[in-house]
Amino acid sequence: MSVGHSSHAAARQGLPGNPLIWVLILSEIAAFSAALAGFAVARLLDPATFAKGAAALNPLAGSANTAILLTSGLFAAWALDAARRGETSATRRLLVAAASIGAVFVVVKVAEYVGKAAIGLTIDTDAFFTLYYLVTGFHLAHVAFGIAILSLVAAFPEKENVETGVAFWHMIDLVWVMVFPVFYLLR
């Protein structure tokens, strides 16, 4: 056994999926954390604008999207369990279900954007909405990419592929659980 192979095996003992996904996941969490820290600083500098912006958001839409992503994450976790048991058909069905539920998140978020734009609340409205569209739009791009990953993994449901795709999908869940209260609940 070569040194490279044994170190790869050691790295894989504690983390599911391809080890490189964890580099991506940690970098994405760092990027979103920095964005949320920037939001917090901007909020401190202009509390009135941020309170007004938060009041214009629909916590019900944000709550629905939280439930949608967590439900999708549950289906992804079930897919991983099925993959570990060698149940290829179940793995595929569960990954497709997770991706499909994730697509509902996209529909709700796009409807929310359209509704805000219709009443004149755009990325140029003020600092709150600039950050709202940038952070939630960046997250939405990750959701779309995650849906593509889950769909690709459903086509090639080997255990490592499923572990890697599900790890990425759970990162998307985690990020939304950080973004949702900051934008929708803190008034």
Report the number of distinct structural domains present in the chain: 1
Residue 179 pLDDT greater than 80, yes or no? yes
Query: What number of other Cβ atoms are within 10 A of residue 86's Cβ?
Result: 9
Q: pTM for the whole thing?
A: 0.89
Q: Which residues contact 103 (CB under 8 A, 6 or more apart)?
A: 147
Tokens read off for 36: 């949320």
Tokens read off for 148: 């593509």
Question: Which of 17-31, 132-146, 168-182 bottoms out in mean pLDDT, i.e. has the lowest?
Answer: 17-31
Q: Rounded to whole angstroms, how far apart are CA atoms 118 and 121?
A: 7
Strand, helix or coil at 85? coil
pLDDT band at 186 (very low <50, low <70, confident <90, very high): confident
**Could you give the angle at the alpha carbon of 56 between the alpha carbons of 55 and 61, nearest 5°?**
100
Q: Rounded to whole angstroms, how far apart are CA atoms 19 and 10?
A: 10
Which structural domain range is residue 91 located in? 3-185
CA distance between the termini of the chain: 58
- In this prediction, residue 54 carries a pLDDT of 95
Mean pLDDT of the chain: 92
Mean pLDDT of 17-46: 94
140: domain CATH number is 1.20.120.80
Which residue bears the tokens 């290829």? 88
